[in-house]
């Protein structure tokens, strides 16, 4: 679902929606999530293999790099969005003159470069180690080096950006209250749930990682260390869930995204269900008068558009709820459309 959801976000924001500063932000967020989800299959395989790593040292480093890159890129982009929103609220005229598509793209490039730079050290400390004849992808550097990098990751990749984000939205709230313009907060109903989802998903992972490395370094009790180690898979899955939640939040919260998604799916359905022999069959009516042809064509087109539009509204409205039964609902929708709503050319 993460691949499908983020793929749709990339398609809609990159090709169907009008390019704006906000669409550039969310497009890059979706790209970060999409890349990470593609590598997530390796973690799933490892889980089935009882944490045995069968992909070699290179893939161990690459997969670890991609997961850390996703975290840094996501939080840095969310920070950029928050500062952008804050400037738009406090210095409106200045923001209108400075806030351009080119500068937004430059900021995104800088975010990716900085995220890659922050993620590279984690390639060095991660490798495959053979223990009791079993290969595992683990942190292999000295404990003090790992500790410093974990603290760096927590501060640069979570604590400091999140402080900036919270401060930005407090400033936005103060400004909106001072101007008594509650409607100005409506555009933030997309980004605020995304930020909350990031915090809820990544905070337990960050805390657990710091506590676990501290437990090893300071010789905490065995029961505490075992508990922290046992919680590792849970907090990791919670962090990975964030990449799947964002597309659902976009569908729920962004009216423009829903409209463009419906329009895009409508075009897909029209292309999929259009048959070549329909145009051939229409030549039988070439002897009709021009007015009759025009009336028939307009009536048919209007009917088809209404049917497809109503069908598409229903599918898109319930899309976030049916991820677990996507195949059943999808094929059921095709059966319903082709069997009940679309006219069968040969009377079957």
How do beta strands 126-131 and 134-139 pair? Answer: antiparallel
Angle in degrees, 0-180, between the axes of helices 222-253 and 191-217, rounded to the nearest 10: 170
pTM of the model: 0.69
Confirm if 273 and 337 have CB atoms less than 8 A apart. yes
Integer Cα distance of 132 and 128 in angstroms? 13
Residue-level pLDDT at 114: 96
The answer to the question of residue 230 being in a domain is yes
Do residue 33 and residue 145 come from a single domain? yes
Q: What is the pLDDT of residues 76-134, one digit of tens each?
A: 998 998 898 888 888 888 877 888 899 999 999 999 999 999 999 999 899 998 877 78
Q: How far is CA 256 from CA 16, 31, 101, 196, 313, in A?
A: 11, 19, 19, 21, 14
Do residue 115 and residue 234 come from a single domain? yes
Integer Cα distance of 225 and 54 in angstroms? 26
The answer to the question of residue 260 being in a domain is no
Q: Mean pLDDT, the chain, as a whole number?
A: 73
Residue-level pLDDT at 183: 55
The answer to the question of residue 265 being in a domain is no
Which one, of 179, 178, 25, 10, lies nearest residue 101 by Cα? 25
Do residue 198 and residue 246 come from a single domain? yes
Do residue 120 and residue 23 come from a single domain? yes
Do residue 242 and residue 336 come from a single domain? no
Task: Give me the CATH number covering residue 97.
Answer: 1.20.1070.10
Q: What is the mean pLDDT of residues 252-281?
A: 48
Q: What is the pLDDT of residues 179-197, one digit of tens each?
A: 766 555 555 666 778 788 8
Do residue 40 and residue 164 come from a single domain? yes
Do residue 209 and residue 88 come from a single domain? yes
The answer to the question of residue 270 being in a domain is no
The answer to the question of residue 264 being in a domain is no
* Most confident stretch, 3-7, 123-127, 296-300, 328-332: 123-127
Do residue 321 and residue 189 come from a single domain? no
pLDDT band at 255 (very low <50, low <70, confident <90, very high): low
The answer to the question of residue 261 being in a domain is no
Secondary structure of residue 135 in the 3-state scheme? strand
User: Which of 138-152, 248-262, 328-342 shows the lowest mean pLDDT across its residues?
Assistant: 328-342
The answer to the question of residue 221 being in a domain is yes
Q: Which domain holds residue 298?
A: 276-341
Do residue 172 and residue 294 come from a single domain? no
The answer to the question of residue 348 being in a domain is no
Do residue 173 and residue 313 come from a single domain? no
Q: How many domains does the chain have?
A: 2
Secondary structure of residue 130 in the 3-state scheme? strand
Integer Cα distance of 172 and 293 in angstroms? 58
pLDDT at position 276 over 80: no
Do residue 210 and residue 81 come from a single domain? yes
List the end-to-end C-alpha distance of the chain, in Å, as a whole number. Answer: 35
pLDDT band at 343 (very low <50, low <70, confident <90, very high): very low
Do residue 246 and residue 297 come from a single domain? no
């Amino acid at each position: 679902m993460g691949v499908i959801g983020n793929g749709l976000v990339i398609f809609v924001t990159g090709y169907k929606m009008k390019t704006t500063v906000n669409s550039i932000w969310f497009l890059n967020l979706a790209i970060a999530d999409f890349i990470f989800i593609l590598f997530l299959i390796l973690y799933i395989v490892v889980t089935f293999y009882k944490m045995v790593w069968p992909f070699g040292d290179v893939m161990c480093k690459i997969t670890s790099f991609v997961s850390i890159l996703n975290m840094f890129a996501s939080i840095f982009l969310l920070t950029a969005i928050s500062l952008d929103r804050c400037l738009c609220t406090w210095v409106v005229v200045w923001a209108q003159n400075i806030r351009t598509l080119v500068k937004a793209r430059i900021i995104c490039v800088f975010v990716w470069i900085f995220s890659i730079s922050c993620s590279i050290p984690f390639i060095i400390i991660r490798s495959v180690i053979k223990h009791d004849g079993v290969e595992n992808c683990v942190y292999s550097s000295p404990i003090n080096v790992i500790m410093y990098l974990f603290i760096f990751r927590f501060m640069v990749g979570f604590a400091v950006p999140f402080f900036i984000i919270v401060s930005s939205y407090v400033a936005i709230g103060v400004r909106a209250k001072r101007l008594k313009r509650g409607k100005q907060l409506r555009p933030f109903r997309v980004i605020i749930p995304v930020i909350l989802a990031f915090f809820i998903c990544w905070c337990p992972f960050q805390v657990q990682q710091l506590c676990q490395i501290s437990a090893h370094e300071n010789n905490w009790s065995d029961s505490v260390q075992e508990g922290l180690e046992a919680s590792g898979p849970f907090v990791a899955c919670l962090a990975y869930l964030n990449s799947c939640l964002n597309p659902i939040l976009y569908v729920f919260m962004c009216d423009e995204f829903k409209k463009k998604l419906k329009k895009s799916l409508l075009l897909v359905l029209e292309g999929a269900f259009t048959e070549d022999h329909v145009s051939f069959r229409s030549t039988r009516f070439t002897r009709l008068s021009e007015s009759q042809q025009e009336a028939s064509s307009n009536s048919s087109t209007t009917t088809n558009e209404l049917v497809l539009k109503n069908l598409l509204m229903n599918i898109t409205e319930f899309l976030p709820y049916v991820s677990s039964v996507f195949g059943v609902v999808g094929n059921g929708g095709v059966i319903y459309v082709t069997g009940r709503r679309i006219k069968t050319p040969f009377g079957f």
